Amino acid sequence: MFESFQSCFTLDPGLSRPSPSAAFSTDRHGFAELFGRFGGASFNNGMYRIMTPASVQQWEALVCESFPQFSQRLSCFAYDWLGRVFAVDSRRNENDGHGVLLLEPGTGEALQIPCGIRLFHDEELVEHREEALAASFHAQWLDSGGATPARDQCIGYKRPLFLGGKDVVANLEIIDIDVYWTVSGALIRKARGLPPGTRITGIKFIE
C-alpha cells in the first residue's frame, strides 16, 4: 500500500514533521499505515501534506464548522497547498473502503472522490494529480515568485471564488491556514443559501 504514491512524490525534509502513529494503533480507514509511514510529511514543495495524528481532531472540528453537514462522519488525513482538506466520509462506501472527500475553503464546496484512502494515494494522486492537487496552478504560483508555504500556512484566495474571486495567481496570497479556514468558514456559513450576487457584510469573529 502507498508504494506508487511514494515513488511519485518527493519528500520535503525541511517542511516535514515526523510524528508517531500511536493515536492510530488500530487501522481506521487505513490510517494506521498512512500515519505510520507518512504522518507529518510534506511532499513536492508543499503541494500535498499528511496531517499528524495529534492534529486530526483539531482539523475535524475546524472543517465541520464550515461544513456542519459532515459532522460526526469525517476523518481528516491530509491537506494541500491551497488549504483544501482531504477526509474520509464514513457514510459513503467505495470499492476499497469509505470514500474520500475534498473540502475546499476557497470555493465552499465538498467534492466526492470515487475511491478510498488506498486508491486515492496510489492512483488518484498519481494519475490525476492535476485534478486532485491543481498541480499546474501550484507551478504557476512558484514560477511567479510565490513562496512555498510553511506547515502552518497555505496559499489562499484573497477573494474566495464563491464571492466572485478569480481563479488566478494574482488572487492568491500566503496565509496562516487556521486563519484562512476560520475566515473562509464564516463566509461559507454566511453565504450558504443566499442568491448569487448577494452582498455579504457584518461578519464578526469572537475570540
- Edge to edge, the sheet with strand 85-94 lists 42-43, 48-50, 74-80, 85-94, 97-104, 109-113
Q: What is the pLDDT of residue 23?
A: 52
**What confidence score (pLDDT) does residue 80 get?**
98
Q: What is the pLDDT of residue 50?
A: 96
Let me know if residue 203 belongs to a domain: no
Question: Mean pLDDT throughout 34-57?
Answer: 94
- Does a structural domain hold residue 205? no
pLDDT 10s digits, 68-127: 999 999 999 999 999 999 999 999 999 888 999 999 999 989 999 999 999 999 999 999
Place of cell 481506521: 28
Which pLDDT value is given to residue 205?
Answer: 36
**Distance in angstroms (rounded) separating the CA atoms of residues 161 and 167:** 7
Residue 29's pLDDT band, with cuts at 50, 70 and 90, is low
Domain presence at residue 179: yes
Question: Residue 145 has what DSSP assignment?
Answer: T
pLDDT of residue 201: 44
Supply the pLDDT for residue 199: 47
Confidence of residue 1 (pLDDT cuts 50, 70, 90): confident
Whether 34 maps to a domain, the answer reads yes
| pLDDT score recorded for residue 10 | 96
Instruction: Note the pLDDT tens digit of each residue in 156-205.
Output: 999 999 888 999 999 999 999 999 999 998 888 876 654 444 444 443 43
Q: Is residue 154 part of a domain?
A: yes
Q: Given 3-state DSSP classes, what are the helix, strand and coil percentages for the chain, each rounded to the nearest 5?
A: 40, 20, 40
Residue-level pLDDT at 163: 84
Domain count within the chain:
1
| Residue 8 one-letter amino acid | C
Identify the weakest region by mean pLDDT among 30-34, 37-41, 57-61, 100-104: 30-34
Mean pLDDT, rounded, for 21-34: 66
pLDDT score of 189 = 81
Residue 23 lies in a domain: yes
Whether the Cβ atoms of residue 196 and residue 162 lie closer than 8 Å to each other: no
pTM of the model: 0.89
Look up the domain containing 22 and give its range. 3-191
Residue 139: inside a domain: yes
Average pLDDT of 45-52? 96
Residue 204 lies in a domain: no
